[in-house]
Amino acid sequence: MHTFYIETVGCQMNVLDSELAGSALLRAGFQQAETLADADVILYNTCSVREHAEDKIYSALGRLKNWKREKPDSVLGVIGCMAQKDQKLVFQRAPHVDFVLGPGRLDILVETVEKLFNEKPRPTKTVCASLHRATNKHTDVLESFRQYNPERTVRDDASPSLVRIMFGCDQFCSYCVVPFVRGPEQSRPPQDIVNEVQHLARQGITAITLIGQTVSSYQHQQARLADLLYQLSNIIGIEHIDFVTNYPKSIDDNLLQAVRDLSQVSKHLHVPAQSGSDAVLKRMNRHYTAAQYREMTNRIYDTVPGATMTSDFIVGFCGETDEDYEQTVDLVKYCRFRNSFIFKYSPRPGTKAAELYVDDIPEEVKKYRNNHLLEIQIEISRQLAANVF
């Protein structure tokens, strides 16, 4: 009987993938190890959204060298976004890794691990990845990013169950690696989602979080996110529904009315703005202006009584002047976010921004803007919590 341990970094997509991968391994007869050191199989579920995340993962993989030396028959797999992005490069930077498997190939995770234990001689250094979007036919690429949603083993913690409603992303924000590593956008059929949530409800789950890269853009034939929220609210036992991450341009009145009218649906919206400067937003390929973002914010607060918002920002994007940055500060002050997640721009190989623009903002300036914006946000958060507005 082999034991496994899954280490997860990154976003909720990865958290869900780890949960589903763990469930599949349990069903195949593996057991969960108490600690990483005890395991016969270690899976590292990785993130590639910023370089810093990747560096930390490679350091952590480096620390597993001894474990591998002491247990040469064990299996070390790298899964998740960095697996899809780096593929063979993983073996160069961490030669003791046995296999690399992208997020679009989780369907063959269990068989990949089993082969490593069962086949003699042992298959070495296998890469299971989806096709690259830039160099392959769209239908082939789509086929190579498999939808993966097997049954899961229900956890006993109280956090909401994650329910994926969309795979991939087609927005191609110029700085972002996600459309490449998670593949083309695919909304799941509403009936599949309803069935999954009914199943969870029967197992006693009361709170769910719908996840996708751009959930407000969910569309399957005629069904939009608002329709899905109505259907899911009808499921007996489901008391709390929220959804992340939204894309500003697709927050429409139907969605806001559903949020307002459905008592189960959270009145909190996470809508990444990324910048308050039109010039920067344009280079980021975000398809909206700061004025349109403000207008959307007004619509949210006007339509949904008691609504709260959070946002993401990238500071120090290529060519961001002091004036551009000041416009981001103005936007943060205007929108009264409950919280903002602020990131320093990190060029990602293969993205348009890395190709077209120079990463010309010095690290100290990025750091300064990051800390400065955070201070402004903290003050707003404090005032909101104290109900000063």
Pick one of 247, 325, 343, 345: the residue that binds ligand SF4 (CB under 6 A).
247
What region does 190 belong to: left with phi over 0, alpha with psi -120 to 50, or beta? Answer: alpha
Q: Are 129 and 83 in contact (CB under 8 A)?
A: yes
Q: How far apart are CA 204 and CA 235, in angstroms?
A: 12
Q: How far apart are CA 276 and CA 313, in angstroms?
A: 9
Partner whose footprint covers residue 180, from ligand SF4, ligand 5AD, none (CB < 5 to 8 Å by kind):
none
Residues 196-235 binding ligand SF4 (CB under 6 A) are: 213-214
Largest pairwise CA distance in the chain? 68
Partner whose footprint covers residue 314, from ligand 5AD, ligand SF4, none (CB < 5 to 8 Å by kind):
ligand 5AD
178 forms part of the interface with ligand SF4 (CB under 6 A): yes
Between residues 131 and 284, which has the closer beta carbon with respect to ligand SF4?
284
Q: For the CA atoms of the chain, what is the radius of gyration? A: 22
What is the residue whose two structure tokens read 């529904």? 241
Pick one of 274, 310, 327, 328: the residue that binds ligand 5AD (CB under 6 A).
274
Stretch that binds ligand SF4, among 27-35, 92-100, 121-129, 171-179 (CB under 6 A): 171-179
293 forms part of the interface with ligand 5AD (CB under 6 A): no
Q: In whole angstroms, how close is the CB of 331 to ligand 5AD at the nearest point?
A: 14
Number of residues written out for the chain:
389
Q: How far apart are CA 210 and CA 213, in angstroms?
A: 10
**Count of residues near ligand 5AD by CB under 6 A:** 12
Q: Are 118 and 76 in contact (CB under 8 A)?
A: no
Tokens of 252: 């429409």
Between residues 113 and 315, which has the closer beta carbon with respect to ligand SF4?
315
For strands 31-32 and 3-8, give the pairing.
Answer: parallel
Partner whose footprint covers residue 169, from ligand 5AD, ligand SF4, none (CB < 5 to 8 Å by kind):
ligand SF4
175 forms part of the interface with ligand 5AD (CB under 6 A): yes
Partner whose footprint covers residue 346, from ligand 5AD, ligand SF4, none (CB < 5 to 8 Å by kind):
ligand 5AD
Identity (one letter) of the amino acid at 365?
V
161 forms part of the interface with ligand SF4 (CB under 6 A): no
171 forms part of the interface with ligand SF4 (CB under 6 A): yes
Residues 6+ apart with CB under 8 A from 101: 77, 78, 79, 83, 108, 109, 112, 127, 128, 129
85 forms part of the interface with ligand 5AD (CB under 6 A): no
Sites of contact with ligand SF4 (CB under 6 A): 169, 171-173, 176, 178-179, 213-214, 247
Sites of contact with ligand 5AD (CB under 6 A): 49-50, 175-176, 272, 274, 312, 314, 343, 345-346, 348
